Amino acid sequence: MKVLLINGSPNEKGCTHTALSEIAKTLNDEGIETTIYYIGKETITPCRACRACGKIGRCVIKDKVNDFVEYAREFDGYVIGSPVHYGSAAGGIVPFLDRAFFVDYMSGHDSFKHKPGTAIVSARRAGTTATLDQLNKYFQINQMPIISGRYWNMVHGQNPDEVKQDKEGMQNMRILAKNLAYHLKCKEAAQKAGINFIVSI
Protein backbone atom coordinates (compact mmCIF):
# COMPACT_ATOMS: atom_id res chain seq x y z
CA MET A 1 0.00 0.00 0.00
CA LYS A 2 1.23 3.47 -0.89
CA VAL A 3 0.12 6.94 0.20
CA LEU A 4 0.90 10.15 -1.69
CA LEU A 5 1.32 13.26 0.45
CA ILE A 6 1.00 16.47 -1.58
CA ASN A 7 2.86 19.52 -0.31
CA GLY A 8 0.99 22.56 -1.63
CA SER A 9 3.21 25.11 0.09
CA PRO A 10 5.62 27.29 -1.88
CA ASN A 11 8.17 26.46 0.86
CA GLU A 12 9.41 22.93 0.20
CA LYS A 13 10.69 22.28 3.74
CA GLY A 14 8.40 24.60 5.70
CA CYS A 15 5.57 24.12 8.18
CA THR A 16 3.34 22.08 5.87
CA HIS A 17 6.21 19.71 5.09
CA THR A 18 6.85 19.30 8.82
CA ALA A 19 3.27 18.14 9.40
CA LEU A 20 3.28 15.86 6.36
CA SER A 21 6.56 14.31 7.48
CA GLU A 22 5.04 13.39 10.83
CA ILE A 23 2.16 11.68 9.02
CA ALA A 24 4.59 9.90 6.68
CA LYS A 25 6.69 8.60 9.58
CA THR A 26 3.63 7.15 11.33
CA LEU A 27 2.38 5.55 8.11
CA ASN A 28 5.81 4.01 7.56
CA ASP A 29 5.68 2.60 11.09
CA GLU A 30 2.35 1.00 10.07
CA GLY A 31 4.02 -0.67 7.09
CA ILE A 32 2.70 1.74 4.45
CA GLU A 33 4.96 3.33 1.84
CA THR A 34 4.86 7.11 1.47
CA THR A 35 6.01 9.75 -0.98
CA ILE A 36 5.88 13.49 -0.38
CA TYR A 37 5.19 15.30 -3.65
CA TYR A 38 6.17 18.98 -3.74
CA ILE A 39 4.18 20.94 -6.33
CA GLY A 40 6.86 23.62 -6.55
CA LYS A 41 6.89 27.39 -6.87
CA GLU A 42 6.25 27.81 -10.56
CA THR A 43 2.96 29.33 -11.61
CA ILE A 44 0.13 26.85 -12.19
CA THR A 45 -2.27 28.05 -14.87
CA PRO A 46 -5.95 27.78 -13.88
CA CYS A 47 -8.35 25.49 -15.74
CA ARG A 48 -9.58 27.03 -19.02
CA ALA A 49 -12.87 25.09 -18.95
CA CYS A 50 -12.23 24.00 -22.55
CA ARG A 51 -13.07 20.35 -21.71
CA ALA A 52 -10.52 19.15 -24.25
CA CYS A 53 -9.24 16.70 -21.63
CA GLY A 54 -12.45 14.72 -22.13
CA LYS A 55 -11.42 14.08 -25.73
CA ILE A 56 -7.65 13.73 -25.56
CA GLY A 57 -7.26 12.38 -22.02
CA ARG A 58 -4.82 15.11 -20.99
CA CYS A 59 -4.89 18.78 -20.15
CA VAL A 60 -3.98 21.03 -23.08
CA ILE A 61 -1.86 23.15 -20.73
CA LYS A 62 1.64 21.70 -20.79
CA ASP A 63 2.95 21.70 -17.26
CA LYS A 64 3.48 19.25 -14.39
CA VAL A 65 -0.24 18.63 -13.78
CA ASN A 66 -0.46 15.99 -16.54
CA ASP A 67 2.59 14.16 -15.20
CA PHE A 68 1.17 14.32 -11.68
CA VAL A 69 -2.15 12.77 -12.71
CA GLU A 70 -0.36 9.82 -14.29
CA TYR A 71 1.91 9.44 -11.28
CA ALA A 72 -0.83 9.79 -8.65
CA ARG A 73 -2.96 6.99 -10.10
CA GLU A 74 -0.61 4.36 -8.67
CA PHE A 75 -1.31 5.31 -5.04
CA ASP A 76 -3.88 3.90 -2.63
CA GLY A 77 -4.51 6.99 -0.50
CA TYR A 78 -3.83 10.71 -0.47
CA VAL A 79 -2.98 13.51 1.93
CA ILE A 80 -3.25 17.10 0.69
CA GLY A 81 -1.31 19.65 2.71
CA SER A 82 -1.51 23.41 2.39
CA PRO A 83 -0.59 26.51 4.35
CA VAL A 84 -3.29 29.08 5.01
CA HIS A 85 -2.90 32.23 2.89
CA TYR A 86 -5.46 34.97 3.49
CA GLY A 87 -7.93 32.55 5.07
CA SER A 88 -7.79 29.91 2.31
CA ALA A 89 -5.49 27.42 0.62
CA ALA A 90 -2.24 28.54 -0.97
CA GLY A 91 -2.53 30.09 -4.43
CA GLY A 92 -0.66 27.31 -6.23
CA ILE A 93 -2.46 24.26 -4.84
CA VAL A 94 -5.98 25.30 -5.89
CA PRO A 95 -5.51 25.47 -9.70
CA PHE A 96 -3.23 22.43 -9.43
CA LEU A 97 -5.93 20.31 -7.78
CA ASP A 98 -8.74 21.78 -9.90
CA ARG A 99 -7.07 20.61 -13.07
CA ALA A 100 -5.70 17.33 -11.73
CA PHE A 101 -9.05 16.08 -10.48
CA PHE A 102 -10.94 17.41 -13.50
CA VAL A 103 -8.56 15.83 -16.03
CA ASP A 104 -8.77 12.49 -14.24
CA TYR A 105 -12.56 12.61 -14.17
CA MET A 106 -13.07 13.87 -17.74
CA SER A 107 -10.64 11.31 -19.15
CA GLY A 108 -12.77 8.55 -17.63
CA HIS A 109 -10.07 7.10 -15.40
CA ASP A 110 -11.70 7.83 -12.02
CA SER A 111 -8.32 7.06 -10.46
CA PHE A 112 -9.15 8.66 -7.11
CA LYS A 113 -12.64 7.18 -6.75
CA HIS A 114 -13.20 5.22 -3.51
CA LYS A 115 -9.62 5.82 -2.37
CA PRO A 116 -9.26 7.49 1.05
CA GLY A 117 -8.11 11.08 1.27
CA THR A 118 -7.46 13.61 3.96
CA ALA A 119 -6.37 17.24 4.14
CA ILE A 120 -4.08 18.95 6.62
CA VAL A 121 -3.36 22.65 6.95
CA SER A 122 -0.75 24.83 8.58
CA ALA A 123 -1.29 28.36 9.84
CA ARG A 124 0.18 30.93 12.15
CA ARG A 125 -3.22 31.40 13.76
CA ALA A 126 -6.55 31.51 11.86
CA GLY A 127 -8.23 30.41 8.62
CA THR A 128 -7.59 26.72 9.15
CA THR A 129 -11.13 25.34 9.25
CA ALA A 130 -12.16 27.27 6.13
CA THR A 131 -9.13 25.87 4.30
CA LEU A 132 -9.90 22.32 5.46
CA ASP A 133 -13.44 22.67 4.13
CA GLN A 134 -12.06 23.93 0.83
CA LEU A 135 -9.64 21.02 0.40
CA ASN A 136 -12.07 18.32 1.54
CA LYS A 137 -14.38 19.19 -1.35
CA TYR A 138 -11.95 17.55 -3.78
CA PHE A 139 -12.52 14.26 -1.98
CA GLN A 140 -16.27 14.69 -1.64
CA ILE A 141 -16.90 15.21 -5.35
CA ASN A 142 -14.84 12.11 -6.20
CA GLN A 143 -16.55 9.63 -3.85
CA MET A 144 -13.46 9.40 -1.66
CA PRO A 145 -13.77 8.48 2.03
CA ILE A 146 -12.47 11.39 4.11
CA ILE A 147 -10.24 10.33 6.98
CA SER A 148 -10.39 12.35 10.17
CA GLY A 149 -8.19 12.68 13.21
CA ARG A 150 -9.20 13.37 16.77
CA TYR A 151 -9.41 17.11 16.15
CA TRP A 152 -9.29 19.40 13.11
CA ASN A 153 -6.32 18.43 10.95
CA MET A 154 -4.18 21.50 11.58
CA VAL A 155 -0.87 22.62 13.01
CA HIS A 156 0.14 26.10 14.14
CA GLY A 157 3.44 27.94 13.95
CA GLN A 158 5.42 30.47 11.93
CA ASN A 159 8.28 28.05 11.21
CA PRO A 160 8.98 24.30 11.42
CA ASP A 161 10.39 24.55 14.95
CA GLU A 162 7.21 26.21 16.20
CA VAL A 163 5.09 23.58 14.44
CA LYS A 164 7.05 20.84 16.25
CA GLN A 165 6.20 22.59 19.52
CA ASP A 166 2.48 22.34 18.71
CA LYS A 167 2.14 19.09 20.65
CA GLU A 168 -1.60 18.69 20.13
CA GLY A 169 -1.34 19.41 16.42
CA MET A 170 1.52 16.98 15.90
CA GLN A 171 -0.22 14.34 17.99
CA ASN A 172 -3.27 14.66 15.77
CA MET A 173 -1.08 14.19 12.67
CA ARG A 174 -0.04 10.82 14.13
CA ILE A 175 -3.64 9.87 15.02
CA LEU A 176 -4.75 10.88 11.54
CA ALA A 177 -2.06 8.69 10.01
CA LYS A 178 -3.10 5.70 12.13
CA ASN A 179 -6.73 6.19 11.10
CA LEU A 180 -5.70 6.33 7.44
CA ALA A 181 -3.59 3.18 7.86
CA TYR A 182 -6.52 1.38 9.51
CA HIS A 183 -8.85 2.31 6.66
CA LEU A 184 -6.36 1.13 4.04
CA LYS A 185 -5.83 -2.17 5.84
CA CYS A 186 -9.58 -2.71 6.18
CA LYS A 187 -10.06 -2.01 2.48
CA GLU A 188 -7.28 -4.42 1.58
CA ALA A 189 -8.80 -7.13 3.79
CA ALA A 190 -12.23 -6.58 2.24
CA GLN A 191 -10.84 -6.90 -1.28
CA LYS A 192 -9.06 -10.13 -0.35
CA ALA A 193 -12.39 -11.42 0.98
CA GLY A 194 -14.04 -10.59 -2.33
CA ILE A 195 -15.93 -7.57 -1.03
CA ASN A 196 -15.86 -4.80 -3.62
CA PHE A 197 -17.68 -1.49 -3.64
CA ILE A 198 -19.96 -1.32 -6.63
CA VAL A 199 -22.63 1.30 -7.22
CA SER A 200 -25.31 0.77 -9.83
CA ILE A 201 -27.82 3.57 -10.34
For the chain, give the secondary structure using H, E and C: CEEEEEECCCCCCCHHHHHHHHHHHHHHHCCCEEEEEECCCCCCCCCCCCCCHHHHCCCCCCCHHHHHHHHHCCCCEEEEEEEEECCEECCCHHHHHHHHHHHHHHCCCCCCCCCCEEEEEEECCCCHHHHHHHHHHHHHCCCCCECCCCCCCEEECCCHHHHHHCHHHHHHHHHHHHHHHHHHHHHHHHHHCCCCCCCCC
Query: What is the reported pLDDT for 11?
Result: 96
Query: What is the reported pLDDT for 129?
Result: 97
17: containing domain? 2-192
Does residue 199 form part of some domain?
no
Taking residues 87-101, what's their average pLDDT?
A: 97
- Predicted confidence (pLDDT) per residue in 29-49, tens digit: 999 999 999 999 999 999 999
Does residue 78 form part of some domain?
yes
Does residue 115 form part of some domain?
yes
Is the pLDDT score of 95 beyond 80?
yes
Taking residues 13-21, what's their average pLDDT?
A: 98
Compute the mean pLDDT over every residue in the chain, rounded to the nearest whole number: 95
Provide the whole-model pTM: 0.95
Query: What is the reported pLDDT for 87?
Result: 95
Does residue 184 form part of some domain?
yes
Query: What is the reported pLDDT for 110?
Result: 87
> With bands split at pLDDT 50, 70 and 90, how would you rate the model's confidence at 197?
confident
Does residue 175 form part of some domain?
yes
Does residue 197 form part of some domain?
no
Does residue 201 form part of some domain?
no
Does residue 198 form part of some domain?
no
- Predicted confidence (pLDDT) per residue in 108-159, tens digit: 888 999 999 999 999 999 999 999 999 999 999 999 999 999 999 999 999 9
Q: How many domains does the chain have?
A: 1
> With bands split at pLDDT 50, 70 and 90, how would you rate the model's confidence at 199?
low
For residue 126, give the CATH number of its domain.
Answer: 3.40.50.360
Higher pLDDT, 8 or 196: 8
